[in-house]
Amino acid sequence: MPELPVIYVLNGPNLNLLGLREPEIYGTDTLDDIAGRLEDQGRQLGLEIDMRQSNHEGHLIDWMHEANARGAKAILLNAGGYTHTSIALHDAIKSIKVPVIEVHLSDPMKREPFRHISYIGMAAVASFAGHGANSYTLALDAAAKL
């Protein structure tokens, strides 16, 4: 049976604490809850989901390089706080051929001014933010159409 197209879903720092961390901002869904929904949605779309989380910037970069080498269809990236600080992640996105879609649970533009700059968004093909856990499902629908 042929291999399904793969979508990498990469999650950055502190996202392992979803469901516990500031639920008034990020909601009560855990990363496992989101992963389960994405896997179900992926099956319906004929896609394999490879979801990962790390608190380390270099892991996210290595995984983007891996997705590129594997010929992934797309990467959904919630870089967490690295969104506003990481030129290294920006450069990694620019250095690969796999399209990257930025994802955020909250809307950074409605939060503190330092969150209004997105180095990820400057390199990504699209962004989904402010829809809670549905930001991921909207991004996956978009990725399926690439």
User: What contacts 24+ positions apart, CB below 8 Å, involve 111-116?
Assistant: 111/25, 114/84, 115/83, 115/84
Residue 104 catalytic?
yes
The active-site residue, picked from 8, 82, 90, 104, is 104
The active-site residue, picked from 8, 26, 119, 136, is 26
Q: What are phi and psi of 67, to 5 degrees?
A: -60, -40
Half-sphere exposure of 41 (CA within 13 A, CB side): 19
Residue 136 catalytic?
no
Whether the CB-CB separation of 118 and 127 falls below 8 Å is answered with yes
The residues that are catalytic are: 26, 104
